[in-house]
Structure 1
Amino acid sequence: MAGGVIHGSGRGRRSQRYRPLSEINVTPFVDVMLVLLIVFMVTAPLLTVGVPVDLPETEAQMISDPQEPLVISVDREGSVYLQDTNIDLEKLVPRLIAITGSNPDAKIFVRGDRAIAYGRIMEVMGLVNAAGFKKVALIAEMPRDKGASKQGSGG
């Protein structure tokens, strides 16, 4: 009989000590969110870059316009891109007309790699101009650091 009493009291103690955990552990959630934040911070700038083009530098002022223009890029190999899509030169003008609705005042920017022949860029600009688009501009990169380039070339 004494054995039954010990057995019963042992169970009673266990059930009294055991309580379900009612707090939510947010540490793993915070860890996962911080990792995702870092991943998105690293990849976001890479997603906004279009066609990789090494633009020449210029002293001209930046264009600030709320309306986003169409961008035609010519890469190092001479391939033509409309926004981020590779396109044949023969299909460029019909695609521009379709996108702009034959609006001659649509703004079109032409980006050309500094290693590409000037004639290829002028060929693209000539096609766009001949199609009736009046607002066509070349895009260049702002100088990174004027002071450093002057110091480096002086000595």
Structure 2
Amino acid sequence: MAEINVTPLVDVMLVLLIIFMVTAPLLVAGVAVDLPESRAETLDQDMEPVQLSIDRDGSLTIDDTPVAESDLPSRLAAIAAQPAPPEGRRIYLRADRSLDYGRVMRVMGELNRAGLNRVALVSVGEQAR
């Protein structure tokens, strides 16, 4: 047989190409991220989202109404009990950049416990440096 069969070679190369395409995005070890700034466009939606804010002092407000931390689970349960669109109620979480990461995660844990899983973290647009 004087001809070389290239079909197995092409098959192996395509499998390797797929493996590299899948694993390459996962190999990024560290990315410098500044969460409060973003170029993301605003989300289109029909219902007005619930705005949950945490200021520099850790004070909580829901739609511009101050809420004590001890009252947060009951307030979130009341919000979750209200009628919502089929995809779920969207919550906008605004947190001051100087807050402890654990503080924000505790609030997100309360949101998850109440069944409010569609949480969007709000940031400001990218500013010129």
Give me the TM-score of the superposition, normalised by structure 2: 0.62
Q: How many residues are matched?
A: 92
Amino acid at match of 1:83: D
Q: Residue in 2 aligned with 1:124?
A: 107
Task: Name the structure where helix makes up a greater proportion of residues.
Answer: 1
Gapped regions of structure 1 (runs ≥ 5):
1-54, 150-155
2:80–2:115 Cα contact (<8 Å) kept: no
Q: Residue in 2 aligned with 1:89?
A: 69
Amino acid at match of 1:118: Y
Bigger radius of gyration, 1 or 2? Answer: 1
Task: Name the structure where strand makes up a greater proportion of residues.
Answer: 2
Higher relative contact order (CA 8 A, sep 6+): 2
**CA distance 1:100–1:126, shift in 2 (3 Å):** closer
Displacement of 1:87 in angstroms is 0.7
Displacement of 1:141 in angstroms is 0.9
Provide, for residues 60-81 of structure 1, a one-character-per-residue CA deviation record: whole Å limited to 9, x for no partner.
2321223110011000011111
Displacement of 1:103 in angstroms is 5.2
Alignment of 1:10-49 (within 5 A): none
1:110–1:136 Cα contact (<8 Å) kept: yes
